[in-house]
Amino acid sequence: MIKKHNLAVAFPEFEEKIHTLKVEDNHFKILFDKYDQLDHEVYRIETDSEPASDDTLNDLRVQRVRLKDEIYEYLNKN
């Protein structure tokens, strides 16, 4: 089953912090929105809603993982 990679599900220990930072921290909001956009693009391709090559899909997945790592580091520092 194909599903979205929600940050609150990926990092349940940071669920409240994610919500707070989205509202109060502009840099985090930008990271969060970018991650959400990438995740949505990957989901649309995986569910065949939007055609794309395997290379494009893999590139988007790599970007999403790197951004997720950056968000995780940000959550641990702040």
Render pLDDT for 51-73 as a digit per residue (tens, 0 to 9): 899 999 999 999 999 999 999 99
Could you give the number of structural domains in the chain? 1
Range(s) of the domain holding residue 55? 7-77
Would you say residue 2 lies in a domain? no
Would you say residue 34 lies in a domain? yes
Confidence at residue 2, expressed as pLDDT on a 0 to 100 scale:
77
The residue behind tokens 């912090």 is: 17
Would you say residue 45 lies in a domain? yes
User: What would the two tokens of residue 14 be?
Assistant: 């940071």
User: Over 90: is that where the pLDDT of 78 sits?
Assistant: no
55 vs 48: CA distance, rounded Å: 15
Would you say residue 47 lies in a domain? yes
